[in-house]
Amino acid sequence: MNELTVDTAPPVLRAGGVIAYPTEAVWGLGCDPSHEAAVMTLLQIKQRPVEKGMILVAADLAQLEGWVRMDALPAECRDTVLASWPGANTWVLPAGNRAPRWITGDHSGIAVRVSAHPLVAALCRAWGGPLVSTSANLAGHPPARTRAALDPALLPLLAGLIDGDTGGLAQPTPIRDALSGQVLRT
């Protein structure tokens, strides 16, 4: 397993690597969302169908430009989303022209979060954009809350790992639809 840092991870991501890192509540898997082969590798590792779509995480709203269409939201919906960021809130927003089907899946929207987790935000800043962020576990298995809890079968499939602590949340971030306000995951 390649031990990475925020500074050594970007070349691994550019090469199409899938990495593990701590997020707000659980360990996550990440890769370059614009690199189709990397996303397909991540989906294969997780045994997750592409149709479900992926979550993107960013350090700030500017990193999501082109991935989402904030202008497609009514002002009150946009204000609600923006008031929750940075923070542990994932929103489904209308997908922008940069969001390919391997990210949106069968959906017209895309799930995104501007993270307040220091390591996640630093990683996105060093990378220079958003990253795919999904729990570091096989589909249907419980997510890892610590590095020690990562599935040993998962580790050899990864290009690297950034060590650190999760943000201590009891549950993964809630996912809400920005247009309807509907809670999709609590």
The tens-digit pLDDT sequence of the chain (186 residues) is: 699 999 999 999 999 999 999 999 999 999 999 999 999 999 999 999 999 999 999 999 999 999 999 999 999 999 999 999 999 999 999 999 999 999 999 999 999 999 999 999 999 999 999 999 999 998 888 899 999 999 998 999 999 999 999 999 998 899 999 999 999 988
Sign of CA dihedral 104, 106, 109, 112: negative
Sheet holding 55-58, edge to edge: 131-132, 55-58, 109-114, 90-94, 175-177, 183-185
Alpha-carbon distance of 25 to 142, in angstroms, equals: 12
| Bridge pairing between strands 3-4 and 160-162 | parallel
Counting the structural domains of the chain, the total is 1
* CATH number, domain with residue 64: 3.90.870.10
**Rounded to two decimals, what is the model's pTM?**
0.95
pLDDT at position 140 is: 83
Looking at residue 25, what is its pLDDT? Answer: 95
Domain residue limits at 100: 3-185
Q: What is the per-residue pLDDT for 126?
A: 98
pLDDT at 186: 81
What pLDDT sits at residue 139?
A: 80
Cα dihedral across residues 74, 77, 83, 87: positive or negative: negative
CB-count exposure of residue 71 (10 Å: 0-12, 13-18, 19+): exposed
Q: Give the pLDDT of residue 162.
A: 98
